A and B are shown apart, each in its own frame.
Chain A
Amino acid sequence: MTLSEAPTTSPALVTTALEKSYHSTEPPTRVLNGIDLAVRQGEFLAVMGASGSGKSTLLYCISGMDRPTAGNVRLGDLDLTELSDRDMSRTRLTKMGFIFQQAYFLSNFNLRDNILLPALKAQPKERAEVEARVDAMLQRFGIAHVADHGITQVSGGQLQRASICRALATKPAVLFADEPTGALNSSMTLDVLDALTGVHRDGTTIMMVTHDPACAARADRVVYLRDGLLVDELDLGTWHQADTSRRDGELLSWLRDHDF
């Protein structure tokens, strides 16, 4: 079975024979070995794999933050590998959102300004609308009361929820998340997962890299990466609170099959 054939609705994101090698090492390190992957419109996809399997590299190559060595990436009708740096940046700004393991924020700005920044850049003429949208999100994710705080004055969970706000502020077509709960304790992790699930319910396509089964269990589908190749996938269907233990069991058993 070709993994890319899984989607039943039109794909939001497709990679074909994606390869990435790093030439700074001797001999060069081949991290991605020809990845064929399709993510459906509105799908929540989790990418799992052991450390060093190429999960984060896959995410960076797809989002244009790293240039693939070969193969291509399509976002809707757009071939991302053909784009100039400028157009790729524009695409990242208007069509993609990012959540990282570490909360990457600018320390010279308060939380709200950090969230406003990409949205204002995308829609500089519609400041009032952008601000209203951001303020509504701050309310929704429960961080409105720390909006004018510096980034060193808030908790990790609040920062990660601010990351989600920032990623959504530009109304992206795809949300990328790289180990979004990797630096959080269990209660904060739950907060962030609930937030992501909520965003998915609103129809946002999400591609998440994680090695935490609890996170992956929230996804519609999980793919497994080993040595730069997609080797398997597991369709979990849409997440429901009541269904948690069945999904967890199914996922853990699948992971055991991959010696995870």
Chain B
Amino acid sequence: MYVKYTLNDLRRNRGVNSSLLVVLVLSAFLMASGAMVMERTLGSVNALFDQAKPPHFLQMHKGAYDEAALDAFATAHPEIDSWLIEDMVGYDSAAIAWVRPGTTESGTLSASLIDNLFVTQNTAFDFLLDADSTMAYPADGETFVPVAYQQRFGLQAGDELRIRTDVGIEDFVIGGFVRDSQMASSLSSATRFLVSNADFERLRTTGGSSEIIVEYRLADPAQTSNFQAAYESDQSLPKNGQAVTGDMIRIINAISDGLVAIALMFVSLLLISIALLNVRFVIRGTLQDEVHQIGAMKAIGLPNSTISGLYLSKYSAMTLIACVIGGGLAVIASQALTSGMQASYATAPVTALTFLAPIAALVLVFLVVIAICRRVLRIINRIEVVSALVHGSTLNEHQTARRAKRLARRVRRSAFASYGGGDLGRRISLVDLRTEVGQWMLLPLVFMLAVVLITLPTNLLTTFQSPKFVTYMGAPESDLRIDLQFSDDLEQVREEAETALATDSRLAQVRRFANELVETRGIEGWESMRVEVGDYSGDTIQYLRGGPPSTGEIALSVLNADRFGVDVDEAFTVRRDGSEMPLTVSGIYQDITSGGQTAKMSGDATGVVTGYIYYATTSAGQDPTAIATNYGDQFPAMTVVPMGEYVSQTLSYVTNAFFNAAVLAIVFAIGVAALITTLNLTLRIAREKRRSGILSALGFSGSELAAQLRFKAILAVVIGTVLGVVVAATLGEALVGAAISLAGLGISSLAFIPNPLLVYVAYPLLLIAVGTISAVAVSSRLRRGDTSAWLRA
């Protein structure tokens, strides 16, 4: 009986059922896709880590170092499983060009801001793997290029790579592409090219900057933080570059790709909310429409559970179909979504979790939808036979009386009391909306959610893309960022550069900050900490709490303040040049650079300086890009970039993920808004047949009836959209802020930097337009209406 009823009903109410099915399919699809992308991402990263064996701790360093001290340290620490020193030669992106033989296609890598490091294949661990996940060994004259560059510049095997060295051009043939477990994530500030031993030795002597990475694998990776503390407390070891732990590598990799999965999950959660609202609305409407049948079934003695079962079987069947279709689509979509990821990392092995993750997500969707259906279907228990058969009402006597009393109170005052001869149709519509507010709730709710759905990813995108985002990167707002990394002639280059900057009339203001290594007391004793030392007077960076450091003070990043358990006005001791300095914490700021662990002091650097950063503001009318190019040419050792470019490149992977999420959200929001508006208004027309018949008989034309429906729909859409904008700007910001804070990136309080024109004007207008078009399309059916049929309904 259940199957027969379900099939008949699905056939009879094809329009309503198919719209509902589409929303359910989309919800199931997104939920399953999110789960699959998440599982594949983690699987890919883990698979790459298994094969490539990245270090558990690494320390970058430029310039001279004491190799004997490293040997002694290794001997003294039996927890080290193996260790190595990797020699690298760095070349500026502008010095590397590519050419496709036999064609006119060519280009340079100058758009890339990250360091290009040429290395040879390691022998013990930290391997660079090719497309087959095997260790790549380039022949002489051949190079293996990072997968990230392959994707970004469209490089192919067989292309030529030309490096401009001090003695001329070095030509390489691209033999393939390598996946780099350590530097795969684009949050990484460097990337590695693989060359043969002979080529490496030649490159080392023909220019380029020499760097090393000291890498360790530990017998027990859980001991990494103790090991790091031990390394950092040893003064004789090289450490003027970044120190990175394996966990950080893993987290950064997972976060940058996991964002796509999180975005998908977010979109699917909103869609499920919409689907549930819709299911509730459709079930209530169906019960109202079929109240006579329900009354008859009750009258012949069918128990409530059997009647509910009839309806539940239909919605269970629909949800099941939706989950199957959604799951099938998710398999296809997630393959497309993870193909880029699998190229950067490794093909994730298929495990039980590969199947269980999406199935669990689909089961969750199914159970939630069915739970809501069961809840709504409880109405059937309350339906009374006489009310249903005689009055066609789902309400019992008590409820009917209460409703009549409420309505009587409401209509006592004339609806035309303040009518001054305007549009009568609108007046009637407003009265309808006021008295039937419950039945018109779905549209505003859906549009509110749709606005939130569209706005949040876009707000995140514009926030991370905004030049003002530097305030979350522990940097002042400025037009140019000049980075002078450690080199043997650092001080000489600095002096020359500062002279040039000071006399440059195109620059209004230049601030210099030195990267100094100081020590501070951690859990395991003294450990190194990077401090940016310089002039913090005036309005430089934004502080979450407190203010800029003056003499005797230090400002800490959020993650450092958490790590050391200190807050504003509390004491904090550092060791600088061997002597302890008691300081007070002046302020706490947000910073996502250097793993979020930075600090700021005012004055001049007195200890070990590993580099300098300058922030310059240009004079009015000056082009930061032109100035950047100019200085880049003049001082090859410096990385000079316009601030916007710095933010966008550093965060390119994150912003790409947000961009994809934003596009996806817009497509889904528009689709769902159109679908639900159509479905809702179609049902309203069916439900308002009697009303339409009465008004038509009284002399309202089909166009006027259509205009009334349009007016009500558009008003509901506008109210929902406006509410959505308010919710997205207030609650949405708080929600996303909390999620970002939990991600441990170093941002604990995110304020959106929205594009007001886009999110407050264009998006709302777009949604209102979608609602309007749907309303116009559906309401036009009223023009062809049949008054006598409406009255007989």
Q: A65-B696, A106-B694 are in contact. Are A152 and B419 (CB under 8 A)?
A: no
A124 touches B696 (CB 8 A): no
A116 touches B698 (CB 8 A): no
B407 touches A105 (CB 8 A): no
A108 touches B414 (CB 8 A): no
A86 at interface (Cβ–Cβ under 8 A)? yes
Spot the interface stretch: A4-12, A89-97, A184-192, A249-257: A89-97
B570 at interface (Cβ–Cβ under 8 A)? no
Kindly supply a per-residue 1/0 record for chain A positions 117-142, scoring 1 wherever the CB is within 8 Å of any chain B CB and 0 otherwise: 11011101101000000000000000
Q: A107-B407, A124-B421, A152-B407 are in contact. Are A118 and B412 (CB under 8 A)?
A: no
Distance of A206 Cα from B694 Cα, bound (Å): 20
A109 touches B407 (CB 8 A): no
The one of A89, A106, A150, A152 that contacts B696, using a Cβ cutoff of 8 Å: A89
In the complex, chain A residues whose CB is within 8 Å of the CB of B704:
89
A interface bracket (residues with beta carbon within 8 Å of B):
35 or more
The one of B434, B436, B693, B703 that contacts A86, using a Cβ cutoff of 8 Å: B703
Within 8 A of A (CB), among B412-433: 412-416, 419-422, 424, 428, 431-432
A244 at interface (Cβ–Cβ under 8 A)? no
The one of B422, B698, B791 that contacts A93, using a Cβ cutoff of 8 Å: B698
A112 at interface (Cβ–Cβ under 8 A)? yes
Kindly supply a per-residue 1/0 record for chain A positions 18-58, scoring 1 wherever the CB is within 8 Å of any chain B CB and 0 otherwise: 00000000000000000000000000000000000000110
Distance of A152 Cα from B394 Cα, bound (Å): 16
B411 touches A110 (CB 8 A): yes
Distance of A96 Cα from B696 Cα, bound (Å): 12
The one of B408, B419, B421 that contacts A149, using a Cβ cutoff of 8 Å: B408
A122 touches B412 (CB 8 A): no
B702 at interface (Cβ–Cβ under 8 A)? yes
In the complex, chain B residues whose CB is within 8 Å of the CB of A65:
696-697, 787-788, 791
B691 touches A152 (CB 8 A): no
A148 at interface (Cβ–Cβ under 8 A)? yes
A55 to chain B, nearest CB (A): 13
A131 to chain B, nearest CB (A): 9
In the complex, chain A residues whose CB is within 8 Å of the CB of B783:
85
Per DSSP, chain B at the interface is helix
B697 touches A104 (CB 8 A): yes
B65 at interface (Cβ–Cβ under 8 A)? no
In the complex, chain B residues whose CB is within 8 Å of the CB of A86:
701, 703
In the complex, chain B residues whose CB is within 8 Å of the CB of A66:
786-788
A85 touches B699 (CB 8 A): no
A90 touches B699 (CB 8 A): yes
In the complex, chain A residues whose CB is within 8 Å of the CB of B408:
149-150, 152-153
A108 touches B697 (CB 8 A): no
B110 at interface (Cβ–Cβ under 8 A)? no
Distance of A215 Cα from B411 Cα, bound (Å): 34
Of A118, A149, A152, A170, the most chain B CB neighbours within 10 A belong to A152
The one of A57, A112, A125 that contacts B414, using a Cβ cutoff of 8 Å: A112
A120 touches B416 (CB 8 A): yes
Closest to B420 in A: A127
B415 touches A113 (CB 8 A): yes
Within 8 A of A (CB), among B545-603: none
A160 to chain B, nearest CB (A): 15
B703 to chain A, nearest CB (A): 6
Closest to A56 in B: B788
A98 at interface (Cβ–Cβ under 8 A)? yes
In the complex, chain B residues whose CB is within 8 Å of the CB of A104:
690, 693-694, 697, 791
A239 at interface (Cβ–Cβ under 8 A)? no
Within 8 A of A (CB), among B435-465: 435-436
In the complex, chain B residues whose CB is within 8 Å of the CB of A98:
697-698
Closest to A107 in B: B407
A78 to chain B, nearest CB (A): 15
B432 touches A89 (CB 8 A): no
Of B411, B412, B690, the most chain A CB neighbours within 10 A belong to B411
B691 touches A106 (CB 8 A): yes
Distance of A148 Cα from B414 Cα, bound (Å): 7
The one of B412, B414, B700 that contacts A121, using a Cβ cutoff of 8 Å: B700
The one of B404, B702, B791 that contacts A152, using a Cβ cutoff of 8 Å: B404
Kindly supply a per-residue 1/0 record for chain B positions 758-793, scoring 1 wherever the CB is within 8 Å of any chain A CB and 0 otherwise: 000000000000000000000000010011100100
Distance of A96 Cα from B552 Cα, bound (Å): 93
In the complex, chain B residues whose CB is within 8 Å of the CB of A57:
788
Within 8 A of B (CB), among A140-159: 148-150, 152-153
Closest to A63 in B: B697
Closest to B698 in A: A118
Of A89, A100, A112, the most chain B CB neighbours within 10 A belong to A89
Q: A94-B699, A100-B791 are in contact. Are A110 and B414 (CB under 8 A)?
A: yes
A109 touches B411 (CB 8 A): yes
In the complex, chain A residues whose CB is within 8 Å of the CB of B700:
89, 93, 121
In the complex, chain B residues whose CB is within 8 Å of the CB of A112:
414
B416 to chain A, nearest CB (A): 6
In the complex, chain A residues whose CB is within 8 Å of the CB of B434:
108
Q: A66-B786, A85-B783, A153-B404 are in contact. Are A120 and B424 (CB under 8 A)?
A: yes
Closest to A126 in B: B421
In the complex, chain A residues whose CB is within 8 Å of the CB of B424:
117, 120-121, 124
Distance of A85 Cα from B428 Cα, bound (Å): 21
Distance of A110 Cα from B414 Cα, bound (Å): 7
B416 touches A92 (CB 8 A): no
The one of A85, A120, A170 that contacts B419, using a Cβ cutoff of 8 Å: A120
Closest to B697 in A: A98
Closest to A108 in B: B435
B689 to chain A, nearest CB (A): 11
Closest to A65 in B: B787
Distance of A116 Cα from B697 Cα, bound (Å): 15
Distance of A101 Cα from B375 Cα, bound (Å): 39
In the complex, chain B residues whose CB is within 8 Å of the CB of A89:
696, 699-702, 704
Distance of A90 Cα from B704 Cα, bound (Å): 11
B411 touches A113 (CB 8 A): yes
A85 to chain B, nearest CB (A): 5
The one of B411, B420, B702, B787 that contacts A150, using a Cβ cutoff of 8 Å: B411
B699 touches A122 (CB 8 A): yes
Distance of A57 Cα from B786 Cα, bound (Å): 12
Distance of A96 Cα from B787 Cα, bound (Å): 15
Closest to B411 in A: A110
Distance of A60 Cα from B419 Cα, bound (Å): 32
Q: A65-B788, A120-B419 are in contact. Are A93 and B696 (CB under 8 A)?
A: no
Closest to A123 in B: B421
A120 to chain B, nearest CB (A): 6
Distance of A2 Cα from B696 Cα, bound (Å): 33
Distance of A226 Cα from B173 Cα, bound (Å): 97
B699 touches A92 (CB 8 A): yes
Distance of A73 Cα from B783 Cα, bound (Å): 22
Within 8 A of B (CB), among A63-99: 63, 65-66, 85-86, 88-94, 96, 98
B699 touches A93 (CB 8 A): yes
Closest to A96 in B: B699
In the complex, chain A residues whose CB is within 8 Å of the CB of B702:
85, 89
Distance of A86 Cα from B702 Cα, bound (Å): 7
B421 touches A113 (CB 8 A): no
Distance of A252 Cα from B416 Cα, bound (Å): 47
In the complex, chain B residues whose CB is within 8 Å of the CB of A125:
421
6 contacts across the A-B interface (CB closer than 8 A): A60-B788, A108-B407, A120-B419, A121-B700, A127-B421, A153-B408
A: residues with CB less than 8 A from B are 56-57, 60, 63, 65-66, 85-86, 88-94, 96, 98, 100, 104-110, 112-113, 116-118, 120-122, 124-125, 127, 148-150, 152-153, 166, 170
New A-B contacts (13) at CB < 8 Å, excluding given A120-B416, A124-B421: A63-B697, A66-B786, A89-B700, A89-B704, A90-B701, A92-B698, A93-B700, A104-B697, A106-B428, A108-B432, A152-B408, A153-B408, A170-B699
B: residues with CB less than 8 A from A are 404, 407-408, 410-416, 419-422, 424, 428, 431-432, 434-436, 690-691, 693-704, 783, 786-788, 791
Q: Top 7 A-B pairs ranked by shortest CB distance? A: A93-B699, A89-B701, A65-B787, A150-B408, A110-B411, A60-B788, A108-B435
